[in-house]
Amino acid sequence: MVKMNALQVFGKLCYSLCMFKDIYAISYKMKRELYHRICTVVTAVILCFVSVSLFMMFILFPVRNVSEAMTPDIPENSLEFVIPLLRTPKRGDVVLIQPYPVEKHSLPVRLINLLCRFVTAQQWEPFQGDKNGNRSVPFIRRAIGMPGDTIYLDNYLLYIKPKKESHFLTEFELTQSKYDITVANAPVQWDKDLGAKGNTKEITLGEDEYFVLCDNRLESSDSRTWGVVKQTAFRGKAVLVYFPFSKFRLL
């Protein structure tokens, strides 16, 4: 058995201490690298959500049309892209509209909604309704009557006399957008002044008043039910149906 003198023992102890110091330094460096990577990933995820949220808040966001109100061109359960910056419609534009005033929630509820919209890229919030029902969900409709128009409905077709004009023309003669409407054959004794009215009296729209209609004229609610709407009720312009793919089209 080899015996080590005191000098050798001291030297080996120093060497061991140096090795321990190197291992500690390496471990600390690895921890810093791991911390830096975690911070980088978290920052990238947050920036991604912020970018998507800002894009969908100001540039483009999807909405789901859950009713048959806009058939045949926009089917039930279809998905459309909406540009929120385009809130002043032209005649024939398909618009996202919120005709009812929305009840303002308390600050904690608004913060929860804001957080949920942020996490889901503006797609969902837990508190939407008010005491009179879920009125905060906007609708997809078509803006046809413009400010200053004199309008009336006859057999579900809108007739329009634009401001400073002397003759009435049909909505299809005045709109540049190409679209179809659904008008089922009502029973012979059906009163077209009831429900979704097919006939109305002449009205003249004010300077900030619009008349919006669904394309399915027999069943759905629109300005015939709500009355004329203000420009502030519009939440954006729908520009594209992208699902189902068989109905893919520009609006």
- The predicted-structure confidence for 137-162, as pLDDT tens digits, reads as follows 788 999 999 999 999 999 899 999 99
Calculate what percentage of the chain has a pLDDT beyond 90: 37
Query: Which tens digit of pLDDT belongs to each residue from 30-47?
Result: 778 878 888 998 898 888
If we measure between CA atoms, which residue out of 77, 214, 73, 248 comes closest to residue 140?
214
The answer to whether residues 247 and 74 touch, using CB atoms and an 8 Å cutoff, is yes
Q: For residue 184, what pLDDT is reported?
A: 65
Q: What type of residue is 32?
A: R
Instruction: Give the strand pairing for 78-83 and 234-243.
Output: antiparallel
Q: For residue 94, what pLDDT is reported?
A: 96
- Sequence-separated (6 or more) residues with CB below 8 Å from residue 153: 159, 197, 198, 199, 200, 224
**Average pLDDT, stretch 222-237?**
92
